[in-house]
């Protein structure tokens, strides 16, 4: 189970790593150093403004099209499976 953004921000500000955060690698340490130096500031982002959700969650067609436009995907890059068969005619 992953952490929410608020929890991740708290972990970045804390030197204490919990058991479920062992997967954090160099990128987290890099970000933490910049947070501590005040060279970057982390802010929560609304779920509605998270284009990366297209890769991690199921969406209704309208929301899917909106996210596709935000991440600049073209129709030719989309693949659809129908009845266990690969259909590239989305």
Total of domains in the chain:
2
Q: Which pTM value belongs to this model? A: 0.39
Domain range for residue 27? Answer: 5-36
Say what the pLDDT of residue 37 is.
93
- CA distances 67 to 23, 75, 79, Å, are 28, 12, 15
pLDDT per position as a tens digit, 2-35: 566 777 777 666 655 555 555 666 677 788 888 8
Per-residue burial over 1-37, b = 16 or more CB atoms within 10 Å of its CB, e = otherwise: eeeeeeebbebbeeeeeeeeeeebeeeeeeebeeeee
Q: Is residue 42 part of a domain?
A: no
Structure tokens at 11: 């972990």
pLDDT per position as a tens digit, 38-64: 998 888 888 777 888 888 888 888 888
Q: Is residue 29 part of a domain?
A: yes
């Amino acid at each position: 189970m992953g952490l929410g953004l608020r929890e991740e921000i708290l972990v970045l500000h804390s030197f204490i790593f919990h058991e479920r955060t062992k997967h954090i690698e160099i990128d987290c340490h890099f970000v933490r150093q910049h947070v501590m130096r005040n060279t970057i500031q982390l802010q929560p982002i609304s779920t509605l403004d998270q284009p990366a959700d297209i890769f991690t969650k199921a969406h209704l067609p309208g929301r899917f099209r909106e996210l596709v436009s935000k991440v600049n995907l073209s129709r030719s890059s989309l693949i659809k499976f129908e009845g266990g068969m690969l259909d590239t005619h989305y």
